[in-house]
Structure 1
Amino acid sequence: MTTKADVLIVGAGPTGLVLAIDLARRGVIPRIIDAGRADHRESRAVSIVARSLEMLDDLGLAQAAIERGVPLHTLNFYQGTTTLAEMDVTAVDSPFPLDLCIPQWQTVTLLRERAEELGVTIEWDTRLVGQQAGEHGVTVELQHGDGRSQRCETGWLIGADGAHSTVRETAGITRERADLKRGFILGDVAVDWPLTRDRFHVYFDASGLVAVFPMIGGYWRILASAPDDRPPATPGLDDFAAYVAERTPLDSHVRDLQWSSSFVARESLADRLRHGRILLAGDAAHSHSPVGGQGMNTGMQDAYNLGWKLALVVTGRAEDSLLDSYQAERWPIVKAVVDATSTTTKVATGTALVARRARRHALRLFGRLNPVQQRLSNAFGEHLVHYRDSDLVFERWHESQARAWSDVACTGPEAGELVRDAYVENREGPVALRHILRTPGHHLVLFAADTTDSATLAAWQPSAHEAMAGHGEVHVITRGHLPHDPMDGVFADLRSEAHNRYGVRRPSLYLIRPDKYVGFRGDSVDFAPVSDYFRALGARP
């Protein structure tokens, strides 16, 4: 039997599900398959960082995730009973200044429910066994759990099927691999520890490290480095108790093991993320040590970058070449993550005397420097990720003279940088800018600065909509009160919070991409560059 799908996603983990949701809410219902069972509960990834919470908020899932997880605010480092440093993860410039500790299966459950609400059906126990790409699509061979074979035609094949990706291997996409020769065990246990449950706790010892952090239900996740690259396949309570007793001052009487696993830290990076009509995302494209908690988060951000672009292409509103920007924007990011995680893993697990002394002194120094803490917090929360070098973004910004109401220290996000949240008002009351930008599509935000005349504001709107050419919404933010006559899309910024967050000092434009990065900014009311942006995107009305 042969069937046709515009998009086939292989892998229903967090990466594949975020992509499926993002496509579905833009009118493209993908087919998604997974070789596993629907009741499988994978629990390795437990950290959702600030940037991913913002993404989940855009999908309407952040609050539900927070209610199911444990919010963490601090990362504590110890050597024995001595505290080396405390890193404040709330220093990130985000509406979600925290790191959420939540089992991966809980994250997947939320995403599955949202995908199903949007009309996406996940086909479990179904694997890809072969594929042949052509100029206009890909023919794939599927194997179902009951032994049935199926041939499927798809316009675009997405590999979100993990580090051992069949999509990547059958497409002939090569990857660079390295073995860090660091073994780890991890598991969830019950134990009575007098530790604050709003933070990570990391203990260093001459023989290795033990990291513990709170889980839902009163449990603790233990991550411990093994002395070699041969950790036990299925760690038991005795394994965890031994490492806790040897490396920490904590009570080693752990009990009620809920789940355990082990792994050897390895890293890989595909040499490309796009091969014709085949695209890779998540662990299929890049995998690395879980130290730092960036893996699942980076994969979901891959999907968030790809989703809106693929939807435009599939619906005929952009040329296929737009998907080249997925490779151009994301590959440098994931390479930097792999490199940084490799270095962090080696530093964190180093047992040589010189390495231990250097680590101890560095942590003590970082703990005392607020600017370093803030930068580390933003890096940890993935807020330093940017696309400033992308060919898709540009700006015409001249840093005009500050006004009496201006915060001269704020220069606003540049083209290619992440948007910032702020509160403005409509006739119903205060509203977060991130919620105004939640509707799928691009958003053109016109900051009116000192212009408060309602006739002028109304005159700007038709030109703004014409420049947007049906690609999204237009919002006007004025520093004055709302016009007496109701006007759609106009918001008041009476405290100048939004204007200052965006570095605005005179009437200006910010064009926000669907993934919430700045596509264009200009400090004049000139709509021609907005049209230029969409032409560069290859977008059609």
Structure 2
Amino acid sequence: MILDLLIVGAGPVGLTLAIECRRHGVNFRIIDRNLVHSSRSKALVLWSGTQEHLASMGVMEEFLKVALPLRHFRFADHGKIINDIPSHSDIDSPYPLPLILPQSNTEKILENHLESLGTNVERGVELICFHQDEEYVSLKLTKPDGSKEEVQVKYLAGCDGARSVVRHGLPVTFEGETESLGFVLVDAKVKGEIENDAMLISWGVEFSVAFFPVKPGVFRMFTQRKDRSNKIVPTLEEMQEYLNLTGLGHLHLYDPEWLSYFDVNERVASRNRVGRVFLLGDASHIHSPAGGQGMNTGMQDAVNLGWKLGFLSKGLSNQELLAESYFQERHPVATTLVNETTKLLHTGITNSSLLRVAKDLLVGILLRLPILQKFFTEKLSEMNIHYSLSDFIEKNSDASASRHQQVGWRVYDAPVIDPKTNQEVSLWQRFLHPMHTLVVFSGADPSEELIPSIRKLLTRKEEIPMKTIVVWQERITPKSLAGTTLLDPEGKAHRYFSLSEPTWFLIRPDLYVAARGIIGNPAAEICLNRYLEKLASPNIAS
């Protein structure tokens, strides 16, 4: 049997894609050349944008059981705190707090969840080479016993890291550069007064250090090493000296779990999709660890691609348009990310006398402004990523001045009443399923005359897999809409979305707003028709 997909690489990105593919009915295998998952802490932070997707995957509760919440971003000049920013400042998400968890734990949770869904990672299996034609990707694999296997699949996903075999097999360039500075890190226990819910960046005359928790009792510190010719693993004494030079000498490192030297590469593949082959995570983009964005961005690559593979593998949709939307949507995110993390690295970790004064001004004074704090925390949280220019976002949808209802942006939450229990519930929670959601708001003071138009809208669920919800701004559900309706008697949800007129939203499986319109507006109906036709049309090649 020819499978829909082969996933190469079972790190956080490959495992996320595998779980998403199970949710969306894709037949696949996932292989990894390593016999066991990573034992290193590596990436640590899970931001709000990623946590929302983990909730949709049904695994977020497992992370909440073991992860450490990160509540503060603290900045210091030679150990003296000059700013303390709440990490969840104005983050509009059900999961506003960043979470700290070693990558090894993240992989374990994801792999256990994948196994509970009936799929195991094939470990010790390595991709040797591949080629593709218009219908299939043909691959050669090596198994743990040294035997060879030839495989054909419809699609190939490279989640195999910065040295990606998949990327090397494509006609793409890996554009960018290697930083002129080298960096060193340590994960160790710490003696001294230090909180385990804060990230601290402190700078002195020559050096800056970033210091944050890894797990209970263990902290990570990393900084630049100015002698780039020295690539040897640092000693604990060297790392302690960096703390002393940046005003943190009251903290004493001991019992190191990991000491490492690393170079920083900042590169983006010129294409993250070529024909039937997709690149995700570090195979597509690598950058500095500043901001802790890499793993999160890769996992969100996977969420973006997973639902699309569900349609592609079934021969539905405008195939070329849908496949290319992965490039349209995620390549600009990667390019922007690499540029911004480069700037963050240069201002946050590198140092000079002039830069020290500039950081004192920027962080100690300007970053106290609420509007700049909100921009800073939202940028890190990855809640401001949008796909407004994508072909799978209806750009001609009715305009909105509020980001809470703009097409191409994440869908946000609002409180509604479940008429079955008469209890307040989360509207956002009703979107956590592997289908599109058509949600219809009745508008203020709805009348019975509106119901036929709403019922007509609800029949659109027959065209593609879709759930439908009506948010009715009254205390009683109309009988003809029973079973699909949530109530908004005080208008909280309508006000949150700045709605007064009857309005519908189409939410994608990855929790982005695909289209919106005012009921009765012919142009809005055209937008909805156009979007659904792109997905419902069988096997259109172009």
- In structure 1, C-alpha distance between the alignment counterparts of 2:403 and 2:349, rounded to whole Å: 40
- In structure 2, C-alpha distance between the alignment counterparts of 1:432 and 1:97, rounded to whole Å: 15
Q: Do 2:438 and 2:469's aligned partners in 1 also have CA atoms closer than 8 Å?
A: yes
| 1:128-185 Cα distance to aligned partner (Å, 9 max, x none) | 1111111111111111222111111111011110010000001232110301122222
* 2:323 is aligned with 1:331: no
Quote the residue 1:25 is aligned against.
23
- In structure 2, C-alpha distance between the alignment counterparts of 1:30 and 1:525, rounded to whole Å: 43
**DSSP 3-state at the match of 1:98:** coil
| 1:228-274 Cα distance to aligned partner (Å, 9 max, x none) | 33565443422322222222334343222223332111111100011
* 2:459 is aligned with 1:465: yes
Which AA in structure 1 matches 2:457? S
- In structure 1, C-alpha distance between the alignment counterparts of 2:238 and 2:248, rounded to whole Å: 16
Quote the residue 1:379 is aligned against.
379
Distance 1:39 1:15, change over 3 A: closer
**DSSP 3-state at the match of 1:412:** helix
**DSSP 3-state at the match of 2:10:** coil
Bigger Cα displacement from structure 2, 162-171 vs 387-396: 387-396
Q: Do 1:178 and 1:266's aligned partners in 2 also have CA atoms closer than 8 Å?
A: yes
Alignment of 1:467-482 (within 5 A): 469-482=463-476
* 2:481 is aligned with 1:489: no
Q: CA deviation at 1:462?
A: 4.5
- In structure 2, C-alpha distance between the alignment counterparts of 1:39 and 1:414, rounded to whole Å: 40
Among 501, 511, 519, the residue aligned to 1:516: 511
**DSSP 3-state at the match of 2:408:** coil
Among 500, 503, 506, the residue aligned to 2:501: 506
**DSSP 3-state at the match of 1:180:** strand
Bigger Cα displacement from structure 2, 279-288 vs 186-195: 186-195
Q: Do 1:203 and 1:247's aligned partners in 2 also have CA atoms closer than 8 Å?
A: yes
* TM-score normalized by the length of structure 1: 0.93
- In structure 1, C-alpha distance between the alignment counterparts of 2:9 and 2:315, rounded to whole Å: 25
Alignment of 1:264-283 (within 5 A): 264-283=263-282
Quote the residue 2:439 is aligned against.
445
- In structure 2, C-alpha distance between the alignment counterparts of 1:471 and 1:539, rounded to whole Å: 13
Distance 1:229 1:87, change over 3 A: farther
- In structure 2, C-alpha distance between the alignment counterparts of 1:172 and 1:529, rounded to whole Å: 36
**Alpha carbon RMSD of aligned pairs, Å?**
2.1
- In structure 2, C-alpha distance between the alignment counterparts of 1:483 and 1:253, rounded to whole Å: 63
Quote the residue 2:4 is aligned against.
6
Q: CA deviation at 1:284?
A: 0.2
* 2:405 is aligned with 1:413: yes
Q: CA deviation at 1:314?
A: 0.3
Distance 1:380 1:114, change over 3 A: same
Alignment of 1:280-359 (within 5 A): 280-321=279-320, 322-359=322-359
* 2:253 is aligned with 1:259: no
- In structure 2, C-alpha distance between the alignment counterparts of 1:379 and 1:440, rounded to whole Å: 27
Q: Do 2:206 and 2:352's aligned partners in 1 also have CA atoms closer than 8 Å?
A: no
Quote the residue 1:403 is aligned against.
none
Which AA in structure 1 matches 2:501? R
Identity of aligned residues (%): 30
- In structure 2, C-alpha distance between the alignment counterparts of 1:502 and 1:141, rounded to whole Å: 51
Q: CA deviation at 1:351?
A: 2.4
Unaligned runs of 5+ in 2: none
Q: Do 2:126 and 2:142's aligned partners in 1 also have CA atoms closer than 8 Å?
A: yes
Distance 1:410 1:387, change over 3 A: closer
Quote the residue 2:60 is aligned against.
62
Which AA in structure 1 matches 2:511? K
Alignment of 1:123-272 (within 5 A): 123-230=122-229, 232-272=231-271
| 1:45-82 Cα distance to aligned partner (Å, 9 max, x none) | 00111101111111122222122111012110111132
Which AA in structure 1 matches 2:300? Q
Distance 1:419 1:479, change over 3 A: same
* 2:392 is aligned with 1:397: no
- In structure 1, C-alpha distance between the alignment counterparts of 2:229 and 2:520, rounded to whole Å: 63
Q: Do 2:207 and 2:245's aligned partners in 1 also have CA atoms closer than 8 Å?
A: no
* TM-score normalized by the length of structure 2: 0.93
Which AA in structure 2 matches 1:315? K
Distance 1:36 1:233, change over 3 A: farther
- In structure 1, C-alpha distance between the alignment counterparts of 2:165 and 2:225, rounded to whole Å: 30
| 1:496-516 Cα distance to aligned partner (Å, 9 max, x none) | 222122221110011111111
Bigger Cα displacement from structure 2, 11-20 vs 476-485: 476-485
Which AA in structure 2 matches 1:392? F
Distance 1:323 1:410, change over 3 A: closer
- In structure 1, C-alpha distance between the alignment counterparts of 2:478 and 2:438, rounded to whole Å: 23
| 1:203-226 Cα distance to aligned partner (Å, 9 max, x none) | 112222221112323211222222
Alignment of 1:95-114 (within 5 A): 95-114=94-113
- In structure 1, C-alpha distance between the alignment counterparts of 2:315 and 2:132, rounded to whole Å: 20
- In structure 2, C-alpha distance between the alignment counterparts of 1:491 and 1:42, rounded to whole Å: 46
| 1:397-422 Cα distance to aligned partner (Å, 9 max, x none) | 256xxxxxxxxx95632110111111
Q: CA deviation at 1:434?
A: 2.0
Q: Do 1:7 and 1:154's aligned partners in 2 also have CA atoms closer than 8 Å?
A: yes
Q: Do 1:242 and 1:252's aligned partners in 2 also have CA atoms closer than 8 Å?
A: no
- In structure 1, C-alpha distance between the alignment counterparts of 2:348 and 2:218, rounded to whole Å: 24
Bigger Cα displacement from structure 2, 164-173 vs 350-359: 350-359
- In structure 2, C-alpha distance between the alignment counterparts of 1:507 and 1:266, rounded to whole Å: 50
Q: CA deviation at 1:331?
A: 0.8
Q: Do 1:179 and 1:267's aligned partners in 2 also have CA atoms closer than 8 Å?
A: yes
Which AA in structure 2 matches 1:358? A
- In structure 2, C-alpha distance between the alignment counterparts of 1:367 and 1:411, rounded to whole Å: 23
- In structure 1, C-alpha distance between the alignment counterparts of 2:445 and 2:289, rounded to whole Å: 50
Q: CA deviation at 1:470?
A: 3.2
- In structure 2, C-alpha distance between the alignment counterparts of 1:33 and 1:411, rounded to whole Å: 40
Distance 1:120 1:233, change over 3 A: farther
Q: Do 1:312 and 1:539's aligned partners in 2 also have CA atoms closer than 8 Å?
A: no
Alignment of 1:76-115 (within 5 A): 76-91=74-89, 92-115=91-114
Q: Do 2:192 and 2:252's aligned partners in 1 also have CA atoms closer than 8 Å?
A: no
